[in-house]
Amino acid sequence: MGALLTVLGIAVAGLLYALLLVKQVTAADSGTKKMQEIAAAVREGANAYLAAQFKKIGPLIIIITVLLFLTYTGSESAFRWGRSGAFLIGSIFSWLVGFVGMRLATIGNLKVATAAKRSYGEAMQLGYRTGTITGMLTDGLGLLGGTLIFLLFGDLAYEALLGFGFGGTLLALFMRVGGGIYTKAADVGADLVGKIEKDIPEDDPRNAATIADNVGDNVGDCAGMAADIFESYEVTIVAAMILGMSTFGHKGVIFPLLVRGIGVLGSIISTYTVKAGDKDTSDTALKSVHRGFWIGSVISVIGFFVLGFGYLHFTPEYFGVEKLAELKNLGYWAVDPMNLPWFANFGVEGLDLRPAITCLIGVFLAVGLNKVTSYYTHTSHAPVKSLTKACTTGHATNIIQGFAVGYESTVAMILVIAVAIFLSVLTYAGTPPLFIAYGVAMTGIGMLTLTGNTISMDVFGPVADNANGIGEMGYDKDEMEKEAPGSYKRARQILADLDAVGNTTKAETKGIAIGSAVIAAVSLFSSFIAIIAVGSEDKINLLTVSQYLEEAGKLTVANPVVFIGFLIGGAVPFLFSSMLIRAVGRAAYYIVQECRVQFRDKEIWAGTKKPDYGRVVDICTKTAQKELVGPGLLAIMTPMLVGFLLGPYALGGFLAGMILVGQLLAVFMANAGGAWDNAKKMIEDGIYGGKGSEAHKAAVTGDTVGDPLKDTAGPAINPLIKVMNMVSLLTLGMILNFGLVAPKSGSMVVGIIASVICVAAIAWAVWQSKRETGDFEVAE
């Protein structure tokens, strides 16, 4: 109890730290009236989008809460309430993380633009601390929710945590999908008309899509990413607690919560160290961000082992006679130093540091993913340089080279993840598969101890981007030069440098988000096998190693049904991505048409009349909400359909195929899009003819193609992977009882009805995504 109360205190401390930073950011100077008007327009657009989204998905959340209550197949009535109630709380927490993060970003961007007039250091610090608020809110609420649920339900908390994790996961999917469609429809529309057709710079106030583009940065990158990492945070803890009870007992369940507490403390300290001086540049500022990341990593690693030496002690009395006998029969006994490798206990009887060691592997995984993503997307490395060179020979060669870079990056990324999982396996070599699965789950927990830093780095990107836009549209050049000659150029350069840093940090965090999704999914896959073995979630604590081994052996591609599931699972990420990319194209069509109509107004083109920004914001909001439902239905209904029609083992194959292909596709899209984006920025900085050159036009085309890949479809695959895993876990009890393959209840009526509903929903979603772009009423 004392350990849990300590964790609870750390969670509260993280939230109080976020509150302290809120006060620091909001107290900063807000700039001129014109700058405030621009920032207010962005804020109003973002608020309108989230309000519309909440109205759209709020009723769905209530319906799912009721269904989770009614479809619970276990015998414990407390779990029926716990699972459905925790789902509702998880949904609210995930929405809160996204909403508050977005809200603070729309305040921080104005503060950063104002601070850039005075100094680089102040602007950098305000931007990063705005991101840190969202990071600490994600850390604090995630830890608070998990700890409170454990205090209420004890060692069986994983049942309620399944609901909590699913709530966070589903909201993250909707925020990623809706925000991604919004941000890239606005971005693509603004670029096509502004940069390519009219040859005007980004964030030019004459472009009617400019405000919508800035709003999109917030709803897509701030709200979406925060909710995405929040649910990874919860999903990994669900997997670790389910597997922890079956391996190390009570301590195996508590240890992940304690590790997360260490991560929150490390984030508080490390994020506060990120600062920049007045003479810093984008390179030195980026080093400061990376230094904060490393400081957080070191603090976490030290904390893992201090905690491990003090907590991970096991005795025969702790395991109990029956558990100990089973472990002995399998050649594993945690309290026998002779059966443990030297690094597990250093000869100390009863000590087993392997959970701490796998957390260390998770930190290395986060750093490795960060480095790989940076290599393929940063302007100082060969891949992006090869794209800028390809732009000199035209649009097609840039696209071709971008595909090559993206494909190659998937190999590097999957090797890093594979090595991390292999090291976790080696750490538990000679033990039953359940222990190995627990080690993989703890790798994910260790990786996500850096959540505070990861979210801070990500949200800093759109804050700096928006601040740059506010500077472009809101600075009064004549007034600034009158007060201090050269101040306008200096402030604009500061914002451009911060935007460059933000682009890099945002790209780097995408790799961590994808990696965390894969590790979480692999961990949940082991939990899936465990539930098949015992029949329902509430019996997980009765799972034996022999039961797990028996069921795991049946999940082989030599079984045609499993292989069919594997093929279907591998196809779903492609269908999901096609739905999202088609949605972006459809929404961008409306925006391009609207911008063209407004540019026909000679006063708008001359800059003497303000465009109707609200019109484009309204188009983005409505189209994003309209496109939201189909992909969500695909994510929820497909695993249910496979499970009810083909059985639990086919569903296991489905999950394996979906995890593999989803990860590869997400990495390809994120890195190809990031590389195209930075290739364009390199040319805009002056190489190969700079802005307006033929090379620049080719680079803009590449960036426009890459936008929906890196900011819509790619990031949305992360929550897709986890939603499908969570749906599979939550419906597995019903599939075992009522599925069309050997139902335990003996009746297939429920399974037939569920299958028909799933087929109808999926068919409607696909049909809806393929409809032709209709006429959208544009301004006259």
| β-sheet bridge partners, residue 351 | 313
In a domain, 320, yes or no: no
pLDDT at 776: 47
In a domain, 388, yes or no: yes
In a domain, 327, yes or no: no
- Taking residues 328-344, report their average pLDDT: 62
pLDDT at 780: 38
pLDDT at 779: 40
Which DSSP category does 173 fall into?
Answer: H
Q: Are 731 and 643 in contact (CB under 8 A)?
A: yes
In a domain, 74, yes or no: yes
pLDDT at 327: 60
Residue 580 identity: L
Going by C-alpha positions, the residue among 234, 236, 97, 264 that lies closest to residue 176 is: 97
Model confidence at 322, pLDDT cuts 50, 70, 90, reads low
- Average per-residue pLDDT in the chain? 84
Model confidence at 282, pLDDT cuts 50, 70, 90, reads low
> How many domains is the chain partitioned into structurally?
1
Q: What gap in Å lies between CA 709 and CA 405, rounded to an integer?
A: 14
pLDDT at 555: 83
Q: What gap in Å lies between CA 400 and CA 377, rounded to an integer?
A: 16
pLDDT at 478: 82
Tokens of 337: 């130093």
Torsion, Cα of 293, 294, 298, 304 (10° steps): 40
pLDDT at 617: 84
- CB crowding 423-438: b at 16 or more within 10 Å, else e: bbbebbeebbbbbbbb
Q: What gap in Å lies between CA 586 and CA 566, rounded to an integer?
A: 31
Tokens of 146: 């998990």
| The pLDDT of residue 401 is above 90 | yes
Q: ∠ CA(728), CA(734), CA(738), 5° rounding? A: 125
Torsion, Cα of 378, 379, 383, 384 (10° steps): 110
Which residues, 6+ apart, have CB-to-CB distance to 421 below 8 Å? 440, 443, 519, 522
Tokens of 449: 């101890």
Least confident stretch, 205-214, 262-271, 435-444, 710-719: 205-214
Tokens of 722: 């986890």
Left, alpha or beta for 86 (phi > 0: left; psi -120 to 50: alpha)?
Answer: alpha
In a domain, 774, yes or no: no
Least confident stretch, 376-390, 415-429, 471-485, 566-580: 471-485
Q: What gap in Å lies between CA 428 and CA 425, rounded to an integer?
A: 5
Question: Which one of 64-78, 329-343, 408-422, 434-448 scores highest in mean pLDDT?
Answer: 408-422
pLDDT tens readout for residues 12-36: 999 999 999 999 998 888 888 888 8
In a domain, 777, yes or no: no
**Over 401-441, what HEC string results?**
HHHHHHHHHHHHHHHHHHHHHHHHHHHCCCCCHHHHHHHHH
What's the distance, Cα to Cα, between the start and end of the chain in Å? 67
pLDDT at 243: 79
Going by C-alpha positions, the residue among 24, 110, 78 that lies closest to residue 466 is: 110
Dihedral over Cα of 15, 20, 23, 27: its sign: negative
Which DSSP category does 73 fall into?
Answer: -
In a domain, 377, yes or no: yes
pLDDT tens readout for residues 92-108: 888 888 888 888 888 88
Residue 600: give the domain boundaries: 2-312+353-769
**Over 636-656, what HEC string results?**
HHHHHHHHHHHCHHHHHHHHH
Q: Are 17 and 268 in contact (CB under 8 A)?
A: yes
Could you give the percent of the chain with pLDDT greater than 70?
92
pLDDT tens readout for residues 170-207: 888 888 888 888 888 888 888 788 777 877 777 777 88
- 122 or 329: which leads in pLDDT: 122
Q: Counting Cβ atoms within 10 Å, is residue 607 exposed (0-12), middle (13-18) or buried (19+)?
A: exposed
pLDDT at 76: 65
pLDDT tens readout for residues 638-682: 999 999 999 999 999 999 999 999 999 999 999 999 899 889 888
pLDDT tens readout for residues 429-438: 877 777 888 8
| β-sheet bridge partners, residue 313 | 351
Q: Which helix (H) or strand (E) holds 101?
A: helix 77-115
| The pLDDT of residue 323 is above 90 | no
- Taking residues 394-399, report their average pLDDT: 94
Could you give the percent of the chain with pLDDT greater than 90?
23
Around 270, how many Cα atoms within 13 Å sit in the side-chain half-sphere?
29
pLDDT at 90: 86
pLDDT at 773: 57
pTM for the model stands at: 0.85
Model confidence at 145, pLDDT cuts 50, 70, 90, reads confident
In a domain, 160, yes or no: yes
* Residue 670: count of CB within 10 angstroms of its CB: 31
Residue 396 identity: A
Tokens of 737: 């009882």
Question: Which one of 102-106, 438-442, 539-543, 740-744 scores highest in mean pLDDT?
Answer: 438-442
Give whole-number Cα distances, 240 to 436, 535, 555, 730, in Å.
Answer: 11, 19, 21, 16
pLDDT tens readout for residues 557-606: 889 999 999 999 999 999 999 999 998 888 888 888 888 888 888 888 88
Q: Are 82 and 153 in contact (CB under 8 A)?
A: yes
